[in-house]
Amino acid sequence: CQCDREGALSGLAECTQETGQCPCKPHADSRTCGQCQDGFFALKASSYLGCQACGCDMGGSLGSGCDAGTGACRCKKGVSGRSCSSPRQGYYFPGLERLRVELEDGRTPAGDPPRFGFDGAEFANFSGRGYVKMSPLQEVVQVDVELGPSTLDLYVVALSYVSTLDVPVMGRVTVTPRGPQGASARSAVQQEKAVVFAAGMGPGRSITEAIVLRPGSWTLIFEPHNPLKDHSLLLPSAGALAESPVLRQAASDPCSVSPTAAQRAQLCCLRLTLHVAPTAAFNGDPPLCLSKAAIAAPLKVLNAPPPLQQSLYLAVRAPVAGRYSLLLEYASEAESESVQEARVSVRDAGGVQQSLRASVQILPCNYSFLCRAVALDPSGGVASYDLPEQAELHLTGSGLNFLLHKVYLIPVHRFSAALLEPRVHCVSRHGTYSPTGHECLASEFLFPAGSVRLAPTHDSAEKPGVGASGTAAFGPRPQPRNPKTLAEGSSAELALLEGEENQVRMIVRVEKSGRHVFLLHYFQPGQPSVHTKVALKASTWSWHGSFNATFCPHAYGCRGVVAFESQLGVDLREGQEVSITLTNPSGEALWLAYVLAVPEHLFTPSVLREEPVDRSRDFVTVCGAHGF
């Protein structure tokens, strides 16, 4: 197999005999797990996820990739630094405002200069000559502006202010065209937006909703009540920025239990491992939980300074005598470069110790999820023990420091490397570990133009019901029992394929001739994989395929491609009525959200992945506090 044990899960040296693929850590790649995925660098044995994110600045870099060894990103002209976040010598980063106007340079409705102050004790760090003072004596200030050519037309107005009042104050910003507007005359209309000034705020910022400003002459009219006002900014609106990939950020770092101040502002990934329980996945051979406790109050704590030897003895009562693998679930606050090794031995009730020498790698794991490791024999394979019904497990090592949550006995023929891999549950923010749930940010997936979505409807009747997308479907009703991993408050309607209701059939009429690729959007949090049969019929033609629904604990589901007889694309003709039937194996569960037929020329791997998170609103909120 030649697996790279630095990049393989738990240091495994075993691969699948069908393809030779080694079990890679989440951010490691290649058949042997010997390199990092694009966007990651520094493959290390001590990293539970394999590699660390490049962290290239989305504005200063040319992409997400970086040097595999140093992590140096490819910077745009005039930008420097490992992550491309600093200007080179002789360059600077300008503010992102389209236009800045000082209100003390404006006028009253009567055309007089406004009353303004310049006391730093009253308004700290004001800009320009000072700040206007809004009061019953001066309720309106207006400023004339000229906007030159620009590719942008949506803006928000950001107001810098100090409020000395005890209650929030409502205000109003009005923009009105002034003089000839040329080709933009049709869109040069007066617009009015409300603005709220927080109580006792100083200095602060208030931001309006989007307004449309085309090149030309405009008058901005400000009518806040009482707050002192310094200046206003015009900048691209949140709506315009949301359409730009520059302000979409892909999260990759694992969520931390104890985040730093810098981490709290960043996005992260919550991950889950495959649930180990007496389910159909193990066909009645349940793994045995030897110790159990919450991470905040672990039952077993191995913590003593080296070179003291540490030992932990656990009495084992196996369900039946047989061959078992050992799986540990743990957390560790050890230093990031450390790899701890716990030696594992087993002896029977008579005190006779088995000759197998095995060990477990304990890696740093200070995440919002628990880590897993399997006991390995000296060659790097999964260690297997001949256990009687009663035995004793012995863990020992020098300088061990980790929190042991659970130890499982797994029948050898039921062990899967999928039990070791933490899959993404959702994108969230760093915070304290909570076993009752997490705050997930909503995920979005691409729907290429011309795609057809087929979803099971509520009407599993004798004839198909036409869905909102123009498709028709019939099959089992969406079950009230949704997967536990489904996002809280999700409105997704899912069809559970399980037991006697393990089949669903959908029908659609083809609108345009061409080759189509069929995708399944599904939820599958309970098995290493579920192999679903797919049958496609169109007129006198039929295709038979399969779909491998791998472990998917994602709160918003996963996507995968259906393979039809060793090909992805299927030729369909305009006007054809096409039926697709999914059949699930007996004893296995799959939640189906919908089937998506994508024109082959529009299909790319990005269609399978969730979209990076839109951070434009965070940009306006956070960066606006620093003047953009």
- Least confident range from 89-98, 232-241, 368-377, 499-508: namely 232-241
CATH no. for 97-178+188-243: 2.60.120.260
Binned at pLDDT 50, 70 and 90, residue 538 comes out as confident
CATH of 299-409, one of 3.40.190.10, 2.60.120.260, 2.40.50.140, 3.40.50.150: 2.60.120.260
Question: SS3 of 32, please?
Answer: coil
Binned at pLDDT 50, 70 and 90, residue 53 comes out as very high
Determine contact, residues 127/211, Cβ cutoff 8 Å.
no
% the chain with pLDDT above 90: 28
Q: Does residue 71 come out as left (phi exceeding 0), alpha (psi in the -120 to 50 range) or beta?
A: left
User: Does the pLDDT at position 75 exceed 90?
Assistant: yes
- CA 299 – CA 289 distance, rounded (Å): 13
Give whole-number Cα distances, 409 to 322, 329, 378, 421, in Å: 10, 12, 19, 18
Q: Nearest Cα to 161, choosing from 222, 96, 241?
A: 222
Mean pLDDT for all residues in the chain: 80
Binned at pLDDT 50, 70 and 90, residue 479 comes out as very low
Binned at pLDDT 50, 70 and 90, residue 573 comes out as confident
Binned at pLDDT 50, 70 and 90, residue 174 comes out as very high
Question: What's the confidence (pLDDT) of residue 100?
Answer: 80
Average pLDDT over residues 599-614: 88
Which of the pair, 235 or 37, is modelled with greater confidence? Answer: 37
Question: What's the confidence (pLDDT) of residue 608?
Answer: 92
Binned at pLDDT 50, 70 and 90, residue 475 comes out as very low
Decide if domain 444-462+481-611 falls under CATH 2.60.120.260: yes
Which helix or strand (DSSP H or E) is residue 241 part of? helix 238-242
Determine contact, residues 281/296, Cβ cutoff 8 Å.
no
Question: What's the confidence (pLDDT) of residue 615?
Answer: 74
Average pLDDT over residues 81-96: 88
pLDDT digits over 396-426, tens only? 887 788 888 888 888 888 888 999 999 999 8
Average pLDDT over residues 311-324: 81
% the chain with pLDDT above 70: 83
pLDDT digits over 184-202, tens only? 555 578 899 988 888 876 7
One fold for 97-178+188-243 and 299-409 = yes
Determine contact, residues 216/163, Cβ cutoff 8 Å.
no
Give the residue extent of every domain in the chain. Answer: 97-178+188-243, 299-409, 444-462+481-611
**3-class DSSP string for 99-145:** EEEEHHHCECCCCCCCCEECCCCCCCCCCCCCEEECECCECCEEEEE
Average pLDDT over residues 9-15: 93
Question: What's the confidence (pLDDT) of residue 620?
Answer: 67
Q: In the structure, how many helices (H) and strands (E) does the chain have?
A: 3, 44
Determine contact, residues 51/30, Cβ cutoff 8 Å.
no
Provide, for the chain, the percentages of residues in helix, strand and coil under a 3-state DSSP scheme, each rounded to the nearest 5. 10, 40, 50
Stated pTM of the model: 0.76
Question: What's the confidence (pLDDT) of residue 350?
Answer: 75
